[in-house]
Amino acid sequence: MIRVGLISHLSEVSGAGIALLRIGRALDPERFWTVVVLPGRGPLYELAQKQKVRCEVIENPEEGMADASLRKRIQLGVQRLRYIKALMRFFRSADIDIVYVNTTITVFAGIAARLAGKPIVWHVRELLESPTLGTRMKMWLIEHLSDAIFYASHAGMKCFPAPRVPHRLVVRNIVDVEKFLHAKASDSVVKELGIAPHEIVITSNGVFPRKAPDIFLRAAAEVVSKTDKAVRFLLVGPPLPEHLEYYEEMKKLASTLGIEKQVTFTGLRMDMPEILACTDIFVSPSRNEAQPNIINEALVSGTPVIASDVGDCRLMLRNGAFGELVPPDNPSALAQAILDTLENMEEARAKARMAQRALVEEFSSPEFWKPVEDTLETLARKRKH
């Protein structure tokens, strides 16, 4: 039995955190014993409990040092050292064979794993374009600590090739097919989202700068001015602690654009399958992405997709065969794509159905996790020899 410690840097629910829980559930239980290590008992811990994913909490302050005072930086530094020591003790006491670090946000788990003498798999979920000096130093450290790197996207591998790492592969986030394929929109969800009868629902997710909700709202205003159809725009996602002011700015922008009555800011939702079930068009206007899994979730649910041409989105939409692509940071181009889709909904739905068939087959295949499991087994074998 190979014992794998899956390390999350956040206790909040995020795409990366949900993907980590899926890995914990997906690895063959006949071959792998998994535990997700969290820095606190937050929403991700609660979700893990609901999904019956084994968890261990090792406290670590979820604060950055960049804007902290000198005194606070010293305090955080001491707490990070305690976190590294606690991780080392856990890796040894639990006889962990492989440490699986989720995202490049921090390097402390990797340092603890190396000091404990454990092989390290690093999952690079970010698109590390135009890295700062600090990010380049972190990338250098990750490359020299890792025994294997999994990339969430081909674009991510291109940005951070890490040639010295012996095992490198693209591991796409998987979709829980059953949840999205068969989801239905309940009357209560429709009411909560403010959807009126006969409204066309256009959904986007993420209310922080990288997800470009400002582009979505500006495009929405243009669509409202050019169509006589009743349209409801949903912006899904909570106000993140580091972007509270930005969240309020987006609400003000909707008001300034005169579309506040057509826009619903949903806040944190744990029912994306149901939301997509009542969505007519899903829009991903992001400025920067690796491989946004929400696009795959929308396609598995049979929802037409429009996405900015960043990261792996062109690959995901098969050069436009599965959905529409638009240039990033261009609200007029996005608005026109939405208007064109509204006028050609049958064609858009046909593309979505074709994508749905292909992705359901791919994500339902027992071979999906084989490259991951084979790599973990290779690392465990080397450790034991």
pLDDT at 14: 81
User: Nearest 10 degrees: CA dihedral of 12, 18, 23, 24?
Assistant: 50
Please report, rounded to a whole number, the percentage of residues in the chain having pLDDT higher than 90.
80
Q: What is the mean pLDDT of residues 22-31?
A: 93
pLDDT given for residue 384 in this prediction: 66
What confidence score (pLDDT) does residue 385 get?
A: 59
Q: Which of 1.10.540.10, 3.40.50.2000, 1.10.3430.10, 3.40.190.10 would CATH assign to domain 2-173+368-384?
A: 3.40.50.2000
pLDDT at 313 over 90: yes
pLDDT at 107: 93
CATH of 177-363, one of 3.40.50.2000, 3.30.70.260, 3.40.50.300, 1.10.3720.10: 3.40.50.2000
- Does 38 score more than 90 pLDDT? yes
Backbone angles phi, psi at 324, to 5 degrees: -100, 145
Write the pLDDT tens digit of every residue in 58-87.
Answer: 999 877 766 778 888 888 889 999 999 999
Mean pLDDT of 178-195: 92
pLDDT tens by residue, 155-184 = 999 999 999 999 999 998 888 899 999 999
Confidence at residue 100, expressed as pLDDT on a 0 to 100 scale? 97
Give the pLDDT mean for 300-318: 96
Distance of alpha carbon 142 from alpha carbon 104, whole angstroms: 8
Give every CB contact of residue 95 below 8 A, 6+ residues apart in sequence: 3
For the residues of 351-369, what is the DSSP string, one character each? HHHHHHHHHHHHHH-TTTT
Q: Are 107 and 15 in contact (CB under 8 A)?
A: no
pLDDT for position 89: 97
pLDDT band at residue 2 using 50, 70 and 90 as cut-offs: very high
**pLDDT at 40 (0 to 100):** 92
Phi, psi of 277 (to 5 degrees): -65, -25
Please check whether residue 309 is in contact with residue 325, taking contact to mean a CB–CB distance below 8 angstroms.
Answer: yes
Query: Which pLDDT value is given to residue 280?
Result: 97
| Mean pLDDT across 239-248 | 89
Domain extent listing, the chain: 2-173+368-384, 177-363
- pLDDT of res. 273: 95
What single-letter amino acid sits at 81? L
- Determine the pLDDT at residue 126: 87
Position 353 pLDDT exceeds 80: yes
Q: Nearest to residue 310, comparing CAs of 297, 328, 334?
A: 328
Shared fold status for 2-173+368-384 and 177-363:
yes
- Residue 122 pairs in a beta bridge with 101, 149
Closest listed residue to residue 311, CA positions, set 293, 299, 297, 298: 293
> What was the pLDDT predicted at 76?
83
Q: Are 250 and 221 in contact (CB under 8 A)?
A: no
Do residues 313 and 289 touch, judged by C-beta distance below 8 A? Answer: yes
pLDDT computed for residue 284 by the predictor:
97
Helices 108-115 and 70-93 pack at an angle, to 10 degrees, of 40
Pairing of strands 148-151, 167-170: parallel
Q: Which of 30-39, 125-134, 240-249 has the highest mean pLDDT?
A: 30-39
pLDDT at 77: 84
DSSP 285-333: --SS-S--HHHHHHHHTT--EEEES-TTHHHHTGGGTSSEEE-TT-HHH
d(C-alpha 10, C-alpha 37), whole Å: 10
Give the mean pLDDT of the chain.
Answer: 93
Helix (H, G, I), strand (E, B) or coil at 85: helix
Residue 71 confidence (pLDDT): 83
Q: Residue 172: what pLDDT?
A: 86
Question: How many Cα atoms within 13 Å fall on the side-chain side of residue 45?
Answer: 14
- How far apart CA 337 and CA 306 sit, in angstroms, is 7
pLDDT at 196 over 70: yes
